[in-house]
Amino acid sequence: MVAVKGQIYGAGTQRTAAVAAGAVLVLSSCSLGGSEVEDGGPGSARVTVTPAPDSADVAPDTPVMVEAEDGTITDVRIEQTPTDDLGEEAAGDAGTASGQLGEDGATWISDRNLVPGASVTVHATAENDAGTETEVVSEFATAAVAEEDRLELVSNFPVSGDVVGVGMPVVINFDRDVERKEQVENSMEVTSEEPVEGAWNWVGDDTAVFRPKEYWEPYQDVEVDLRLAGVASEEGVHAVRDHSIEFEVGREQISTMHVPDHEMVVEVDGDHERTIPVSNGAGEKEFDTTTSGIHLTMEKYTSLVMDSATVGIPEGSPGHYRMDVDHAVRTSNSGEFTHAAPWNGQIGSANTSNGCTNMSEADARWFHDESLMGDVLETTGTGRELEWDNGWGFYQRSWEEWLDNSVTGEPQTTDGSGTPGDVHADET
């Protein structure tokens, strides 16, 4: 082996056809190129690592590139040690290298961003045709990110440990708008025991939603790796830590209602479980019309105060109501719940509600107790269609529409094979 510690050969700025399209370098105030030095000896491989040794304040979303001349790359290892207040939490899996080797074996580029405010050491090994190895060790430092310039998570659904229904999306809420949505999408990978195609869409600029092409297969584990450390949501704003979510898809419960029939049919794992008499919206105006479409159960309450002021009908206005209800399960953000309605004497025979699905006390309790977040409720037979972004109406978009509205425009297969594209900075 020929060891060249701290000595890097070549300018480090030339790209080869083997490097993924769109993976580009962003130059900070320091030089990121390598500097030419003596190689390890006649005929030995010569290695370039970018960013250059001793670079400071390297943007965290800069790719690490290793190039070998007169040899092939046999190993790359990246070590990162946070040097600011982020500590161990920010580093995540920072000690493990992750990247793509070009077809010719002469170019390697990282497929993860770097931890902000870290000391980075790159160990790269290349071998020439005679089997002689050249090892290069290069060190540089990434720029720290001020607290006011950090992209953080506000919330996510589900959370680790949840058992969910087969329609469950992955919902990630950020604390600020995301401009570079493609890089953020490509930093979030979903893996399931039963692989499917899925993709991200955005609700506004601060909420990313992943859904599979079709419902999840029941009885399996799903993991979401949010490899966000170093990704830029906009110029100068970076995430500083990784997150992970592990949840379980439970049994398959799918409920259907044809509203004029005044009943809900519940199937569990493909078998009929229960037929529930119901009373839906009276349908005299848009507000009291139950929406048709694919709903997902979002949350549930043993008891709940329902106030029309929360959906735009304040106290003193025609149609205002405020009432206590039991065993409520939310199915939209426009005020639709299933719940007990012992005052409604027309359950099973007429639609008289303000848009909710009224049930008897016993049936409402059963549906509440049996419901998991992400269960499916398919409703038909009304003149009001559920909007795709009303609650979790994400299956209202066809798969083709969902892909068209993904920033990457490509599906992500949940088999651990990675995300569709680049996580690094835009060329601009």
Instruction: Based on the residue annotation, tell me whether 339 is a catalytic residue of this protein.
Output: yes
Asked if 139 and 101 touch (Cβ cutoff 8 Å), the reply is no
- Listed in sequence order, the residues at least 6 apart from 190 whose beta carbon sits closer than 8 Å to its beta carbon are 170, 198, 210, 222, 223, 224, 225, 412, 414
Task: Select which of 327, 356, 368, 424 is catalytic.
Answer: 356
Q: Is 263 helix (H, G, I), strand (E, B) or coil?
A: strand
DSSP for 126-164, please give it: EE-TT--EEEEEEEEEBPP--GGGEE-EEEEES-TT-EE
Structure tokens at 318: 């025609």
Residues in contact with 248: Cβ distance below 8 Å, sequence separation at least 6, in sequence order: 162, 163, 164, 220, 221, 222
Q: Please give the Cα distance from 191 to 249 (Å, whole number).
A: 12
The single residue of 243, 295, 327, 339 carrying the catalytic annotation is 339
Identify which of 371, 336, 158 has the alpha carbon closest to the alpha carbon of residue 254.
371
The edge-to-edge listing of strands for the beta sheet with 253-258 is 271-277, 263-268, 253-258, 376-380, 293-296
Strand order in the sheet with 207-212: 153-157, 170-174, 207-212, 197-203, 412-413
Burial zone of 130 (CB within 10 Å; 0-12 exposed, 13-18 middle, 19+ buried): exposed
**CA-CA-CA-CA dihedral for 162, 200, 202, 241, to nearest 10:** 60
How far is Cα 195 from Cα 192, in angstroms, rounded to an integer?
A: 5
30 is catalytic: no
Burial classification of residue 410, based on how many CB atoms lie within 10 Å of its CB (0-12 exposed, 13-18 middle, 19 or more buried): middle
Cα–Cα nearest to 86, from 154, 144, 149, 153: 144
The answer to whether the beta carbons of residues 11 and 143 sit under 8 Å apart is no
Known catalytic residues are 339, 356
